[in-house]
Copies of this chain bind each other. A is one copy, B any other.
Amino acid sequence: MRLHQATIESDTRGRGMLELTAEVNAIVADAGIEQGLATLFVHHTSASLVVCENADPTVRRDLEAWLARAVPDGDPLFRHTAEGPDDMPAHVRSALTQTSLGVPVRDGRLDLGTWQGLYLYEHRRAPHRRRVSVTVLGS
């Protein structure tokens, strides 16, 4: 049984999703692990992880539209407003999506469904540098 750990640093362009699948697969290849588990973790509370369809970009557009309506920026409900009208919504969106994801590794790569992509979801309007850790366990 082996363990490999690496970090992805991503510069986001503001609110929206950034696909990480290729970078995570590169880490799994570096690990030299054929079978096991890759666990992603995002080191932030205003960005998160989602597994989303990677074929039609309107899926990501529509998920964003639903979240923007369900957790509106500038909602008077929120008191944590010092960092801007999109800050508290970013925390709520992060709580509703994922901070960690465990993905099976088979044949030396992520065993994702045909249409699944791993995405970093930036919830702030401004660009940010974000950090995602990948821990690969297996043999």
Known: A51-B99, A52-B45, A115-B45. A77 touches B62 (CB 8 A): yes
With both beta carbons as reference points, the residue of chain B lying nearest to A82 in the complex is identified as B56
Distance in Å: Cβ of A6 to nearest Cβ of chain B? 10
> Complex formed: what's the CA distance from A50 to B135 in Å?
20
- Which secondary structure dominates where chain A touches chain B? mixed
Q: Is A71 interfacial (CB 8 A cutoff)?
A: yes
Distance in Å: Cβ of A132 to nearest Cβ of chain B? 10
Distance in Å: Cβ of A82 to nearest Cβ of chain B? 8
7 contacts between A and B (CB under 8 A): A5-B36, A36-B135, A51-B99, A61-B79, A61-B80, A65-B77, A66-B78
Q: Is A97 interfacial (CB 8 A cutoff)?
A: yes
Known: A3-B138, A59-B80, A135-B104. A91 touches B52 (CB 8 A): yes
Distance in Å: Cβ of A57 to nearest Cβ of chain B? 9
For residues 21 through 55 of chain A, which have their beta carbon under 8 Å from a beta carbon of chain B? Answer: 35-37, 39, 41, 43-45, 50-53
Q: Is A92 interfacial (CB 8 A cutoff)?
A: yes
Distance in Å: Cβ of A91 to nearest Cβ of chain B? 5
